[in-house]
Each structure stands twice: as structure tokens, then as C-alpha cells.
Structure 1
């Protein structure tokens, strides 16, 4: 049975591991043509090799989401290689947890650059193309920390994920009926994100993530949003472990 995923061209940022890599494999297995992008190109090549071995279609691209020109070039290359782009999953993210009193402004800058500006650069690169072709789907990875502030320690991270959620909703209102927008808001999910924390809160974060659910949980949520009929827009999906209180 044909689904609304089959033959769609999906670009996934931060796809070298974790949610991005698992989602790429999951969508490719369901017929999507997948473009995977990240800084660690060696890991991207493994993802592509797995997909090709399984009979899917995939290409990899070196990408630093904080570089606006690089993002535009990757989107242009995706269109050049696959003929179009139907979905972007703005997945790249950082989560260094640290009390604000420690005033690590380098971490604050990195989160703003990757989590917020990286998402905006992805949107900027695809939006004119989606508008011109009269269709498209922007999927942004926010967090339950974008619904409720995760403090102490996650205040700035929450700020960036609140921003992603707000940008998603504003974009939905602006783009009209032809373009779909989805914000995915996971709780503790098994991925490398927890290793973004290297400071005083590291042990607390790693202990918290002991209840994490499998990465494929998010891949299924993303697939659910994509596979809906074109006139159905899944705007927001919140998922977390049943044992997670926050």
C-alpha cells in the first residue's frame, strides 16, 4: 500500500547519529529518498551505506547548521541530486545543562547558534522552494523543555526550545495551506544529546536519562506527521517516557 512518505525527498540535519540517523533509516525503509547532513561525514556515510544496502535511496552532505551559506548549498545540492525537496527535519541540536550562575556564555552562544539559528537557516533555505512548488513540510525538533522550563540547569536550553516551538507556530500561521509545519517535542530519548553536558550537571543528566525511551519513538512520530494526507497538518507532537514526570 502506497503511503504519503513514499518517494518524498527528506533532508535531515544532525543526521550522523541519534534521532537524525534513526529517522533517516526509518523513513528510507518506508520509501522516502533521504538526504542526510551533519558535520561528521564518516558517520553519515555509514547511514547512507545502511540505507543503500537495504535497497533505499540516500545521499550525504557535510553541513554545519550555523553556516547559512552551507545550509543553502546543502539544500541546493539535495534538489540537484534528487530533483526536489519535500520535507526538512531541522534536528541538529545541543543541550549543555549548567546552572546560569556559572555564566558559561560560550555554551549559551552555541545553543543559540545551533538550536535557534540553525533551525531558522534550514527554514530560510527551503521556504522559497516550498512556496514555488506549492508544497512542502517543515519539521522542527523542539523538546518538552520547550513547553516547561527545565530549571535549574536547563534555563537557556529551554529558552532555545521555546523559540523553536514559537517559530514553528508562527511559520504555520504565515505559510498558508500549501506548506505543513510540525514541532516535535520529545522528553528523554536515547541519543547523544545527553552527552552535550560536560560540566557540573553531567552526572545528574546521565542519571535522568536512565529512563529514556528508544530513539525510534521520535522517528515514528516524524513518520506519522509526514504520512498524513496533504490536507492534514500535524502541528505538534509531545512524547516522553511514561515514567518521566517533567
Structure 2
């Protein structure tokens, strides 16, 4: 008698049309079913075609709109009848000093970097609670630990918010559902179009020193999906940097 092979896990990746999201899709395609989400349908279709025989569903959606996030969950369940991992990967930078920030600057950072992740967590949570297990991975930033770039002030603040929100969600949900995990992944500078697409312009991330490739970050996220660690940096030494920053703040002036 032949045994039925285990079903492939189903992973939703937001911000999947380029950068880290596209690299993660390529990394997971051989072993997972994928639901790729972004605002650009043409780019999503091209990515799906590049993945070959992998089972991929594309959804053109703006994840800063709650109803569209709810639709992604419905699409994933309708296609696969299960949903195992949700990766909140949408994000946008900003180039503006804190003394110059406007209401619109703050609203934009919160909408893209925080609300999109909150909507994803809240939309997928009922399904995870129903089946008793699930995993959300929120892509944060080293600037969410160490706000070392003043021109990214509002972005740093939004990632600090995301970090706290993720930790609080984990604590709340695991009181009743310990097998539902919420993980944070914190990259540093990544060689993508992030900098070029930042609000108000700014330096191109692909030209900055000490950067990582999107593939390197995707490898770390894939490992987090496998081992379900709650809080991970994408390069060695980052955790020590964050601890050192907090220690320095605590010293007498």
C-alpha cells in the first residue's frame, strides 16, 4: 500500500512582485503552494510564470485596504482549502528628518508598514484558530530596533510599532492557541528598489555599503518558516548591535 504524501504547506506572500517577496517565492516554490499578492498584476503573472511547475495563485490587491486582505484569505482557502503561513512583506521607506515630518508622512508610514500587517494578522487569525495552528511572519527592519538613520525616522517608528504589535499579538493568541506563531524578521540594508521607491526620494539601497541581497534575506525567512523562531535578524551581529544600543542608552551621561 502506498501512503498519501503530506500536503504541501500553503504560504501567502504580500509584496510579492519584486525584491524580498519575489525572492522568497522562488525559494519556496519547489516545496510550497504559494499565494502571491501585490498591486501589480502583470509583475505577479510574470513571476508566477518564472516559477515553472509550482502551484501558484496570484492576487492583485492593495493590502492597505482591509476588505482586499479579507479577499486574499478567501481566495487562498477556496483554492487550497488550507492556509499555513502568512508573510507580511509590504513596506515603504521615507526620506525626511523627524523635525520636518508632516501628518501625511506619518499616515503613509502607518498605513503601509503597520496597518497592512495588522490587517493580515487579523484576517488570517480566525482560520488559524479554527485549525489550531498557523504562522505569521512579519518582515520588520533593523531600524525597528536601532533608529540609526534620522532621514528614515518615520519608517523606523513604524517598524518599532510593528515589533510591539507582533509581540503583543503573539502573547494574546498563544494564551489559548500555543501552536499559532507570530515571527519577526529584521533585515538591514537590502539591495532592492526600497530606497529608490521611498517617499520623498533618497539614496538607492543598492548603492549602500554593508547590504544583503534579497535572496539572502529570503533564505532566512524560509528558515524561520521551517523552525518558527519568534524573532530573527538576517545577519550575524545584528542582535548584539541592538543590545549594545540599549546598553549605551542606559549609561550615565
- TM-score (norm. length: structure 1): 0.87
- CA–CA distance in structure 2, aligned partners of residues 95 and 241 of structure 1: 24
Aligned residues: 232
User: Residue 190 and residue 6 in structure 1: after superposition, are their counterparts in 2 closer, same or farther (change >3 A)?
Assistant: farther
What SS class does the counterpart of residue 64 from structure 1 fall into?
A: coil
| Alpha-carbon contact 2:14-2:21 (below 8 Å) kept | yes
1:123 to 2:124 alignment: no
| Alpha-carbon contact 2:189-2:205 (below 8 Å) kept | no
**1:194 alignment partner in structure 2:** 195
- CA–CA distance in structure 2, aligned partners of residues 17 and 26 of structure 1: 13
What SS class does the counterpart of residue 17 from structure 2 fall into?
A: coil
**Structure whose CA Rg is larger:** 2
What SS class does the counterpart of residue 194 from structure 2 fall into?
A: helix
TM-fit CA distance, 1:206: 4.4
- CA–CA distance in structure 2, aligned partners of residues 100 and 87 of structure 1: 35
TM-fit CA distance, 1:49: 0.7
- CA–CA distance in structure 2, aligned partners of residues 78 and 207 of structure 1: 33
Deviation string, structure 1 residues 50-73 (Cα, Å, up to 9, x no partner) = 12x2x2110100110110000001
Q: Structure 1: which 5+ runs fail to align?
A: none
**2:161 alignment partner in structure 1:** 163
**2:215 alignment partner in structure 1:** 216
| Alpha-carbon contact 1:98-1:197 (below 8 Å) kept | no
Q: Structure 2: which 5+ runs fail to align?
A: 1-5, 243-253
| Alpha-carbon contact 2:190-2:206 (below 8 Å) kept | no
- TM-score (norm. length: structure 2): 0.85
Could you tell me which of 229, 236, 244 is aligned with 1:234?
229
**2:95 alignment partner in structure 1:** 97
TM-fit CA distance, 1:82: 1.3
| Alpha-carbon contact 2:139-2:186 (below 8 Å) kept | yes
- CA–CA distance in structure 1, aligned partners of residues 7 and 182 of structure 2: 19
| Alpha-carbon contact 2:14-2:37 (below 8 Å) kept | yes
What SS class does the counterpart of residue 168 from structure 1 fall into?
A: helix
| Alpha-carbon contact 1:211-1:241 (below 8 Å) kept | no
